[in-house]
Amino acid sequence: MSKQVIDPGDREAIRSAPMFSGLPAQAFDILLAQSELQFRARRSTLFEQDEEATTFYLVLDGWVKLFRMTASGDEAVVGTFTRGESVAEVPCLTGGIYPVSAETVTDARLLAVSSSSFATLTRSHPEICLQMVASISLHLKELVDQIEELKARTGPQRLANFLAGLAPVSRGPCTIALPYEKLLIAGRLGMKPESLSRAFQRLQGVGVRIHHDTVAVSDVARLAEFAGRERLMAVRCPLLRTGCRPG
């Protein structure tokens, strides 16, 4: 781990994050003075499940995954987070333990915020609590969306939705660099690696081609339409389960 200097670009990114966007200027300056900008190499552990929650993070660059280890020793991916998203603020601000583990899946730059210093700041600036509620609500919505996706969408549809979300355009051709390894993508989408491979094969019919870690999409709008159609088919017929540069 190495410490970094907060430059104007970092400051703007931190300021625009949902967790901090509504802070008064004085409170925001105090927060930055008491926080630490860190560089973490790929596969660095940020915290482990059941540890005391003492620090939460804002991702400025790279990707972080949250995961739990199952009784059988398998890794269950809870979520992946990237630029502008906060990680683990809820257990930190409630004085609890980390319910999951966190690890960087790429090289990452993170703002590390001490829970004790943030708690002190909330006492002098109670309006910060409204930002906390907004951030918690956002995480809750994301969890609900994730559950809905796993329950109501086929594997190919979930993959199509994932790729459409990464696309730099809303229609037409593009090339997408996968943000992290396929094993993690499979876990994030609730699939086994072999199911992910079959899902990519299924998407060839809508103009998706994968080569190593790069995906070529012939038409993003068509891909998004496929995702919606697959979902509709899954809901109407439960037995049917077939299953970044503009170009």
DSSP string, 214-229: EEEES-HHHHHHHHHH
Looking at the fold, whether 143 and 162 belong to one and the same domain comes out as no
Q: Where is pLDDT greater, at 94 or 229?
A: 94
**Residue 233 belongs to a domain with what CATH number?**
1.10.10.10
What average pLDDT score do residues 41-64 get? 95
What integer pLDDT is reported at residue 123 of this predicted model?
79
What integer pLDDT is reported at residue 199 of this predicted model?
96
**Residue 133 belongs to a domain with what CATH number?**
2.60.120.10
Looking at the fold, whether 114 and 54 belong to one and the same domain comes out as yes
pLDDT at 195 over 90: yes
Looking at the fold, whether 192 and 118 belong to one and the same domain comes out as no
What average pLDDT score do residues 5-23 get? 82
| Domain-ending residue, one of 150, 174, 201 | 150
Take residue 120 and report the two structure tokens written for it.
Answer: 């002190």
pLDDT at 83 over 80: yes
Looking at the fold, whether 145 and 163 belong to one and the same domain comes out as no
Domain of residue 58, residue span: 2-150
Residue 243: pLDDT band with limits 50, 70, 90 = very low
Looking at the fold, whether 44 and 109 belong to one and the same domain comes out as yes
pLDDT at 231 over 70: no
What average pLDDT score do residues 171-196 get? 92
Q: Which of 119, 157, 137, 127 is nearest to 235 (CA)?
A: 157
Cβ within 8 Å of residue 184, ≥6 positions away:
65, 77, 80, 105
Q: Name, of 40-49, 87-96, 142-151, the range with top average pLDDT.
A: 40-49
What value, to the nearest 5°, has the Cα angle with vertex 97 and ends 91 and 98?
75
Q: How many domains does the chain have?
A: 2
| Domain-ending residue, one of 96, 124, 150 | 150
What integer pLDDT is reported at residue 169 of this predicted model?
94
Alpha-carbon distances, residue 204 vs 23, 112, 173, 212, 219 (angstroms): 47, 42, 14, 15, 12
